[in-house]
Amino acid sequence: MPAKQKSYTSYFENARIASRKTIVPSKINMVLKELAKATVAKTDYLLQENKKDLDRMDPTDPKFDRLKLTAKRIKDIATEIINVAKLRSPLGHILSRKQMHNGLEITRISVPLGIVGVIYEARPNVTFDVFSLCFKTGNVCILKGGSDAEFSNKAIISIIRQVLADHDINENIATLLPPEREATDALLNATGFVDVLIPRGSQQLIDHVRNNSKVPVIETGAGIVHTYFDEFGDLEKGRAIVLNAKTRRVSVCNALDCLIVHYIRLRDLPNLLMPLVEKKVVLYADETAFMILKGHYPDSLLAHARPEHFGTEFLSLKMAVKVVESFEDALDHIAEYGSKHSEAIISEDPRRCEAFLNQVDAAAVYVNASTAFTDGAQFGLGAEIGISTQKLHARGPMGLKELTSYKWVVKGNGQTRS
């Protein structure tokens, strides 16, 4: 075995050893609260290390905002850690219990997944989120962050490990792999060590993990998000929802990428989109929308849509605009270009809204609300380890429950099977 591969294997072996130790819920909660305090106390250190990463990245890169830490963001991260500590533990729940005719008592009980590997890009907050959720659920986490966030992730893991050491807990329950790509390949092949892999990042990263991993994968897909402004949509609600969904934070996966408009509402289109001007949102409008917006939306921010603009996760102040002739056409467009992440309708027709909820295949579907709410904390999960766009095991924001499996516990009194 090559020396390099051996060095990665030692990470996996140490994590497996750490996974055998059970920590009582009260101690878990205490450690999480201490971590929240330590995180805030180390704000200056975290910002200093984060700046080293930021200095290496072009500020116009869509990942720059994801990478950036601020004092407020650090405080918010600490709050989310405390929120996780406050949540009820999902472990040891009796999911079902049967007394069989032969006297056997068969119980199904929730347990940790085991060792969870997470591969992610320039998102240092993910390091905190993944650790807190895995720790709360009795899982060990192996983290593979991108090189863009190398200094930030090392600083974060040092704080986490110091708090663990202070409480005599094996530090290897939180393992950060080196930033090089070889570490990713090793993690993808860590069968026998890692129970599940969760990629968080671009579609390219997710595709690479899905296509090359020998370890089971839970996909947290890219967010190609649509909002459909229906013929029965309320204009004022629409203005507020579109503005928030597009501009609240453009670099996250729940940000709006494509506005779909019923042709009957074309004359309202300039008014609907006017709030975006102040934020300097560039619109890629189809031919019909372009003709309506021309002269009403700044020329410098208005462009003709090309085929590739539909089905694109922009992660920036850019948005596609598509005009459709019917509700069915809107559903067809979403089915063709969506990523099954988050989709919304703006309409005052209850039957139309119900049809949208029933027919759109996505992890989160909205009526008259911004897709910016697709977030573990906003869904009451404390934090999230990712937003799953698949249907097996987990879907949508993944919190504590999604990081558990179950085992069958069978108790007898000498029974044998004939």
* pLDDT tens per residue across span 331-385: 999 999 999 999 999 999 999 999 999 999 999 999 999 999 998 878 877 677 8
Residue type, 212: N
Contact 279, 294 (CB under 8 A): no
Distances (CA, A) of 9 to 13, 14, 24, 279, 350: 6, 9, 28, 48, 56
Distances (CA, A) of 406 to 135, 347, 401, 403: 17, 41, 11, 10
195 half-sphere exposure, CB direction, 13 A CA radius? 16
Is 0.85 topped by the overall pTM?
no
221, pLDDT greater than 90 = no
Pairing mode, strands 342-346 and 364-367: parallel
Provide the phi-psi class of 187: left if phi over 0, else alpha when psi is between -120 and 50, else beta: alpha
Nearest-angstrom CA–CA distance, 224 and 216:
24
User: DSSP secondary structure string, 363-408?
Assistant: SEEEESS-GGG-STTTTTSSS-S-EE-SSSS--EE--SGGGEEEEE
pLDDT tens-digit profile of 26-66? 999 999 999 999 999 999 999 999 999 999 999 988 789 88
3, pLDDT greater than 50 = no
Nearest-angstrom CA–CA distance, 257 and 241:
13
Q: Which residues, including other chains, have CB under 8 Å from residue 212's CB and lie 6 or more apart? A: 185, 188
* Over residues 215-234, mean pLDDT: 91
Nearest-angstrom CA–CA distance, 400 and 140:
13
E-only strand ranges, 169-253: 174-176, 196-200, 225-229
pLDDT tens-digit profile of 93-128? 999 999 999 999 999 999 999 999 999 988 899 999
229, pLDDT greater than 70 = yes
Q: Coil, helix or strand for 361?
A: coil
Residue with tokens 């934020």: 279
* Over residues 158-187, mean pLDDT: 96
Contact 302, 318 (CB under 8 A): no
Q: What percent of the chain has pLDDT over 70?
A: 98
